[in-house]
C-alpha cells in the first residue's frame, strides 16, 4: 500500500489514478478516499487524481495522542501530500472537513493551488451555534468510544443533512454507511475532538478570506442548512469565489448528485487552467441595488 510521511512523521495512505494536471481530493469526516470514487472514475480520464485518508483513518496512521489532530494539521497534511508526490500545484477539492482544510490551505499556501473547491463547509461556524456544535461534537466522540464506530455509524449517517442521500440513493447511502462503520473508533473520536470541535469559526476568518486570489468554487446543498449562510459568507469575502447551491441536496453532494457535482468542477478546472476564471468586479459590491 502506498504511504507518504507528513512533517510530523505520520504515514498517510494515498491512491493516484490517471495522468496530467493533478487534482487532490480531501474527504469529509464521515468519508475516506473511497468517497471520491465517482469523481476519480470521471476525472482520471483527463487528470492525475490523488485521494488520501486523513490521519486517524486506516490504512493511514492513527496517532493515539489527541493533540496530533487539529485544523492546522489537516491543512498541512494537504501540503505533505503535494510535497510527498512532488507536485508543485494542484486543483484542491475538499468536502466538509476537507472543505475547511481546503479553505485554510487556500489562504496559507495559495501558490500551491491551481484552484480551490470548498464544498459542504460551515458546520459550527455561525456565532450563535458555536457552543451547540462543540457540545454535539464532544457527545459524538463519546458515543463513538462507547459504542464503537461499527455500531455508532448508522445514527451518524442518518443526521438531518444526510437523510437526503438515503432518500435519493438508498443503495449509495448503504455503501457510504458500510464504509463509515469500518472507520477507526479512536481515529474518529480524536478527529472529532481535535479537528471538528476546536476549529475556528469561519466568521473569524473573514480578513484571511479576502486575501485569496486563487480561482475558488463554493458548493453546498440547499438542505445542508449549517452550510448555507457560511457559503454566502465565503462568496462575499473571497474575491475569486463562485457559489453553487445544488437543489434538493444535503451534505454529501459529491455522492448524492455526482454528475452535477462533476460538471461544476470541470467548468472550474477548465477556466482556472485557461486563466479565464474571473475575479469579482468591484462595481458589483457598491451597496446600491439599482445603480445609477
- One digit per residue, pLDDT tens: the chain, 292 residues? 899 999 999 999 999 999 999 999 999 999 999 999 999 999 999 999 999 999 999 999 999 999 999 999 999 999 999 999 999 999 999 999 999 999 999 999 999 999 999 999 999 888 888 899 999 999 999 999 999 999 999 999 999 999 999 999 999 999 999 999 999 999 999 999 999 999 999 999 999 999 999 999 999 999 999 999 999 999 999 999 999 999 999 999 999 999 999 999 999 999 999 999 999 998 888 888 787 7
How far apart are alpha carbons 138 and 136 in whole angstroms? 5
User: What H or E segment, with its residue span, contains residue 93?
Assistant: strand 90-95
Q: Residue 118 corresponds to which cell in the numbers above?
A: 470548498
3-class DSSP assignment, residue 181: helix
pLDDT of residue 286: 83
Q: Do the strands 22-26 and 11-17 form a parallel or antiparallel pair, or are they unpaired?
A: unpaired
| Separation of CA 87 from chain center | 20
Whether residue 75 contacts residue 108, with contact meaning beta carbons closer than 8 Å, is answered with yes
Would you say the pTM of this structure is higher than 0.85? yes
CA distances from 162 to 62, 111, 262 (A): 26, 34, 20
Helix, strand, coil distribution of the chain in percent, nearest 5: 50, 15, 35
Amino acid at each position: 500500500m502506498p504511504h507518504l510521511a507528513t512533517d510530523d512523521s505520520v504515514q498517510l495512505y494515498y491512491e493516484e489514478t490517471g495522468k496530467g494536471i493533478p487534482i487532490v481530493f480531501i474527504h469529509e469526516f464521515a468519508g475516506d478516499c473511497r468517497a471520491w470514487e465517482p469523481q476519480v472514475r470521471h476525472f482520471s480520464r483527463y487528470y492525475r487524481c490523488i485521494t488520501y485518508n486523513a490521519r486517524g483513518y486506516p490504512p493511514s496512521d492513527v496517532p493515539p495522542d489527541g493533540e496530533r489532530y487539529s485544523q492546522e494539521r489537516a491543512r498541512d497534511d494537504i501540503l505533505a501530500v503535494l510535497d510527498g508526490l512532488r507536485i508543485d500545484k494542484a486543483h484542491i477539492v475538499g468536502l466538509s472537513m476537507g472543505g475547511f482544510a481546503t479553505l485554510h490551505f487556500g489562504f496559507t499556501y495559495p501558490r500551491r493551488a491551481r484552484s480551490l473547491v470548498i464544498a459542504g463547509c460551515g458546520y459550527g461556524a455561525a456565532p450563535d451555534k458555536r457552543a451547540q456544535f462543540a457540545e454535539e461534537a464532544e457527545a459524538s466522540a463519546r458515543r463513538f468510544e462507547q459504542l464503537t464506530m461499527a455500531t455508532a455509524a448508522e445514527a451518524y449517517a442518518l443526521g438531518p443533512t444526510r437523510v437526503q442521500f438515503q432518500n435519493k440513493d438508498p443503495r449509495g447511502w448503504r455503501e457510504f454507511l458500510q464504509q463509515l462503520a469500518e472507520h477507526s473508533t479512536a481515529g474518529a473520536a480524536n478527529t472529532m475532538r481535535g479537528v471538528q470541535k476546536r476549529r475556528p469559526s469561519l466568521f473569524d476568518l473573514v480578513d484571511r478570506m479576502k486575501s485569496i486570489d486563487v480561482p475558488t468554487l463554493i458548493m453546498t446543498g440547499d438542505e445542508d442548512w449549517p452550510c448555507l449562510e457560511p457559503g454566502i459568507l465565503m462568496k462575499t469575502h473571497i474575491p475569486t469565489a463562485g457559489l453553487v447551491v445544488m437543489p434538493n441536496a444535503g451534505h454529501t453532494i459529491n455522492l448524492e448528485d455526482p454528475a452535477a457535482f462533476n460538471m461544476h468542477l470541470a467548468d472550474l478546472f477548465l477556466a482556472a487552467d485557461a486563466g479565464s476564471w474571473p475575479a469579482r468586479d468591484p462595481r458589483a459590491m457598491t451597496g446600491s441595488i439599482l445603480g445609477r
